[in-house]
């Protein structure tokens, strides 16, 4: 790099993608500055994956204690939770992550600027205090934020970020949406003491996942006590004393709630970054448009993570950032992110995971598809007279029955899917899969894989 700039790389945003880029560029010997006015870690660490998983673990423990009671253990069926104590432990864990990031930035000699930045030109960023710095390359990694729908009374509703400010479980909760966040919040709150109603505009949950599994997930949620309503179009919210009343398009008042959460999509944090003025194209949802190499229409400006509008998962943002840095600074001009066959997990109860194509996607792409499935009640559920069911599904194509999709609703889906992702990427066949993976559902009823 030439020395005409203050830095080799300026990173706007200190989330997972921005941090991964900063660390990798520094390892390649580059001079890096990171602008982040808030806490390090972005959505994932502060109001996403990490605190969500902490709450999911608490909800999972609550459910297991109930199963233990059904099996004969002297424990309450519905254990009480000191929510504030849980939050103390959760935030202490997050504080340790913040400290670790700060230490690593210092060790890698990354300059942290606790300011917001906006582009002045293709190589210059102006900090919110008026100071200007320049770099050969600028990376936009500012993430995204949850949206509220444009309806009357929307200000009465909460968003996913607000969930982490709760000090107790609201008694009656409505969640508007049917995607990742809606499903996860529904399971968490129901397990931790709320009575949850899920208001879904479409006719199914999680439209990017296999319909058979999401159908079973909806049934599982109902057995957990969640009221699931499909085809619901929210018209407005109104305050009625201490309650919030939800009105749908197709009827009168649909219910009174103590809290209403919107899980109706996210928008990229691209406003007031000066992007359009320098030639960077911004999409309808605030996403920065990039090519297959994470570069915008301006060759020196790049984007990764939620702001880039690709696959909105933390591991994907990290991988894309590292690939980009290897291409720009590591002498690897062919380094490129592969967005196919990415393992994706929803932390429902139990978790739902998938890698590759759903049955519907495989049919549309290949026509000739064979599906192997097992829908069963796991042993713990059976022993405790539980109602939750798990599903395992393989989607295969061609005479050799190449596995193009693996789908799992069940225990440890997040861990199991990592191995399946590698298998799908390697193009294994059903026969090879059978030779290397032992499928043992341990159900109280006879289970066979049916073609």
Coil, strand or helix at 262: strand
| Cα–Cα dist 208/352, whole Å | 12
- The catalytic position among 89, 229, 302, 440 is 440
By DSSP bridging, strand 172-176 and strand 195-199 are parallel
Round to whole Å and give the CA distance between 13 and 309. Answer: 16
Residue 192 vs residues 59, 60, 86: alpha-carbon distances, Å: 6, 9, 11
Distances (CA, A) of 91 to 51, 169, 280, 429: 8, 18, 37, 45
Structural contact between residues 143 and 269, judged by C-beta atoms closer than 8 angstroms: yes
Q: Is 150 left (phi over 0), alpha (psi -120 to 50) or beta?
A: beta
Q: Which residue intervals of 250-389 are DSSP H helices?
A: 275-278, 314-329, 359-366, 379-383
Q: What is the CA radius of gyration of the chain?
A: 24
3-state class (DSSP) for residue 150: coil
Letter string b/e over residues 335-373, b meaning 16 or more CB atoms within 10 A of that residue's CB: bebeeebbbbbbbbbbbbbbbbbbbebbeeeeeebebbb
DSSP line for 92-125: HHHHHHHHHHHHHHHHTTPEEE-S-EEEEETTEE
Element (H, E) at 61: helix 49-70
CA distances from 252 to 35, 205, 245, 247, 413 (A): 49, 24, 10, 6, 40
* Spatial distance between the Cα atoms of 135 and 126, rounded to a whole number of angstroms: 12
Neighbouring-strand partners of residue 227: 197
d(CA 36, CA 14): 5
In the annotation, is 229 catalytic? no
Q: Which residues are catalytic?
A: 440
């Amino acid at each position: 790099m030439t020395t005409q700039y203050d830095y080799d790389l300026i990173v706007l945003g200190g989330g997972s993608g921005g941090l991964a880029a900063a660390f990798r560029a520094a390892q390649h010997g580059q001079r890096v500055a990171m602008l982040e006015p808030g806490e390090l870690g972005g959505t994932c660490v502060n109001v996403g994956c990490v605190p969500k998983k902490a709450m999911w673990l608490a909800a999972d423990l609550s459910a297991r204690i109930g199963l233990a009671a059904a099996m004969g253990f002297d424990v309450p069926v519905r254990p009480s939770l000191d929510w504030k104590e849980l939050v103390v432990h959760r935030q202490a864990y997050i504080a340790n992550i913040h400290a670790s990031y700060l230490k690593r930035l210092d060790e890698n000699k990354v300059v942290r600027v606790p300011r917001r930045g906006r582009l002045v030109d293709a190589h210059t960023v102006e900090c919110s205090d008026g100071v200007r710095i320049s770099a050969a390359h600028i990376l936009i990694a500012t993430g995204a934020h949850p949206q509220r729908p444009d309806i009357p009374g929307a200000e009465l509703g909460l968003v996913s970020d607000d969930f982490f400010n709760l000090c107790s479980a609201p008694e009656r909760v409505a969640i508007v949406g049917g995607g990742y966040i809606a499903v996860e919040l529904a399971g968490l709150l129901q397990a931790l003491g709320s009575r949850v109603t899920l208001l879904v505009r479409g006719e199914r949950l999680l439209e990017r996942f296999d319909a058979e599994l999401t159908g079973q997930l909806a049934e599982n949620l109902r057995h957990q006590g969640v009221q699931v309503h499909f085809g619901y179009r929210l018209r407005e919210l109104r305050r009625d004393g201490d309650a919030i009343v939800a009105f749908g398009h197709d009827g009168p008042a649909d219910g009174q709630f103590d809290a209403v959460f919107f899980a109706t999509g996210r928008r990229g944090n691209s406003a007031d970054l000066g992007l359009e003025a320098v030639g960077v194209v911004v999409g309808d949802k605030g996403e920065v448009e990039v090519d297959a190499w994470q570069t915008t229409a301006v060759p020196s400006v790049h984007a990764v993570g939620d702001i880039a509008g690709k696959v909105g998962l933390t591991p994907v943002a990290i991988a894309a950032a590292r690939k980009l840095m290897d291409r720009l600074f590591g002498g690897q001009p062919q380094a490129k992110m592969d967005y196919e066959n990415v393992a994706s997990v929803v932390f429902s109860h139990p978790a739902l995971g998938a890698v590759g194509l759903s049955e519907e996607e495989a049919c549309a792409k290949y026509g000739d598809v064979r599906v192997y499935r097992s829908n069963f009640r796991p042993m713990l559920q059976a022993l405790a007279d539980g109602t939750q069911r798990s599903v395992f599904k393989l989607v295969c194509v061609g005479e050799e029955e190449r596995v193009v999709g693996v789908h799992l609703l069940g225990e440890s889906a997040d861990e199991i899917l990592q191995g399946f992702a590698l298998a799908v990427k390697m193009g294994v066949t059903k026969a090879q899969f059978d030779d290397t993976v032992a499928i043992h559902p341990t159900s109280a009823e006879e289970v066979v894989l049916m073609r």
